[in-house]
Amino acid sequence: MFDCVVVGAGPAGLSASAALAARGVAHVVLERGRAGETWRTQRWGSFRLNTPGWMNPALGAQERESYATRAEVVERLETLAADCPIREVTPVARLARAGAGWVLRTAAGDLRARAVVVATGDQNTPKVPALARAVPARVAQYHAGDYRTPGLLPAGSVLVVGSGQSGCQIAADLLGGGRRVLLATSPVGRLPCRYRGRGTYEWLVELGFYDQRPGDLTDPSLLRAPNPVIGGGGHSLSLQALARRGVTLVGRPVAIAGDRLTFDDSVHANIAAGDAFAAWARGLVDDLARRRGGELPPAEADPTDTPVEISPPATLDLRAEEVTSVVWCTGFDGDFSWVDPGLVGPAGQPRHDGTAAAAPGVWYVGLRWLVCRGSSILRGFPQDAATVAGEVEAYLGGVGPGHGS
């Protein structure tokens, strides 16, 4: 029997492994593929982090203002994994209670553990709307997790559905590849890259933005809001900026009949939603400056704020517009069908109460809003992992060298 098993060898699971090792907790990490599997298989070629190096402690030491590419992230995860007790290509088919402990069923046999840390994440199973089934068969369909480069898509125009982080960045990537792009928009906030002489992330960290807990929110619906958009590699990005570069903005797709696709009229409201969040973030900084009583550098001009005149079409003929591909940037869920039913809610997603503990002997790491806003980003993984490792150690009664079988 193992003292502890960690399920998942992405940055959250590797953070958990490092934290457990630091406390002397004997453990093993089970990974369905290779270390960092999601980063290997669900990121496009030009992907680059939109958080600077200092925001990504889960990836180890790095240049403060660097923005890692997908390949660099994978390389860092491989380096971190080399120091962890990982069994790769060992997917867990079932996690179930077994007396006072837990059993994890794998193709290689059952493993028993006194404690389990589930670090598989809740953003790695593609979500595609039912509308996708009505898209003509001649149009190739991809999810953001499948998209790699413009050159691998059939020649022609591309409809990108969803204007969150992935949708905006993939739209920009397609533009760079010489494609005509239509972007079905959604109401997502955005952040300026810099404001008043500093990176916006620096301000937000100082303001405690990522330390907010679910109970701090006046509107619980914010728990489901997508992360605000900021360009990969550290630059501002907005819907109006994409429109000026040649992207055709449309509303949310609501119906399709043959080649005729119908959209709602939400484009202007979606642009406004992005602008409102950017203004809110800047307002937080201005309030901080007033409280300090000191002077800050003046606000920089941000070209992504510049309005654009658009007349979004209400319908689109896919054939006439030569649309040959659709990229669904409609988000991800996590698959927890393998987890004991007592650990998940009615919708099949993890059940927890504002802490990382799911049940006696089981903890989560790497979920959105697990403990705070930062729980699901590279900045937050090590902090939550350290807390969990302490709780695991206490639960096990203060293990020494540990054991496993």
Give the Cα separation of 112 and 5 in Å (integer).
Answer: 8
Give residue-wise pLDDT tens across range 120-160: 999 999 999 999 999 999 999 999 999 999 999 999 999 99
User: Could you tell me which residue, 405 or 74, shows the higher pLDDT?
Assistant: 74
Specify whether the CB–CB gap between 104 and 116 falls below 8 A.
Answer: yes
What CATH code is assigned to 2-124+334-396? 3.50.50.60
- Is residue 206 over pLDDT 70? yes
pLDDT (mean) for 333-339: 94
Specify whether the CB–CB gap between 51 and 210 falls below 8 A.
Answer: no
Q: What is the pLDDT of residue 121?
A: 93
CA 90 to chain centroid: 23
Q: What is the pLDDT of residue 399?
A: 39
Q: What is the pLDDT of residue 352?
A: 83
- Lowest average pLDDT, out of 62-76, 278-292, 296-310, 387-401, goes to 387-401
Give the Cα separation of 105 and 93 in Å (integer).
Answer: 5
- Is residue 401 over pLDDT 60? no
Specify whether the CB–CB gap between 335 and 125 falls below 8 A.
Answer: yes
Specify whether the CB–CB gap between 86 and 31 falls below 8 A.
Answer: yes
3-state secondary structure of 84: coil
Domain boundaries, the chain: 2-124+334-396, 126-328
Q: What is the pLDDT of residue 321?
A: 97
pLDDT band per the 50, 70, 90 thresholds, residue 251? very high
The mean pLDDT of the chain is 94
Specify whether the CB–CB gap between 392 and 356 falls below 8 A.
Answer: no
Q: What is the pLDDT of residue 290?
A: 85
Structure tokens of 218? 């006046």
- Is residue 50 over pLDDT 50? yes
Give residue-wise pLDDT tens across range 279-298: 999 999 999 888 888 778 88
Q: What is the pLDDT of residue 182?
A: 98
Q: What is the DSSP letter of 139?
A: S
- Angle formed by the axes of helices 11-22 and 381-396, nearest 10°: 50
- Is residue 405 over pLDDT 90? no
- Is residue 402 over pLDDT 70? no
pLDDT band per the 50, 70, 90 thresholds, residue 116? very high
Question: Which residues, other chains included, contact 385 with Cβ-Cβ below 8 Å and sequence gap of 6+?
Answer: 12, 15, 16, 18, 19, 365
pLDDT (mean) for 342-369: 90
pLDDT (mean) for 291-311: 90
Q: What is the pLDDT of residue 347?
A: 83
pLDDT (mean) for 319-324: 98
Other CB atoms within 10 A of residue 292 CB: 9
Give the Cα separation of 27 and 403 in Å (integer).
Answer: 8
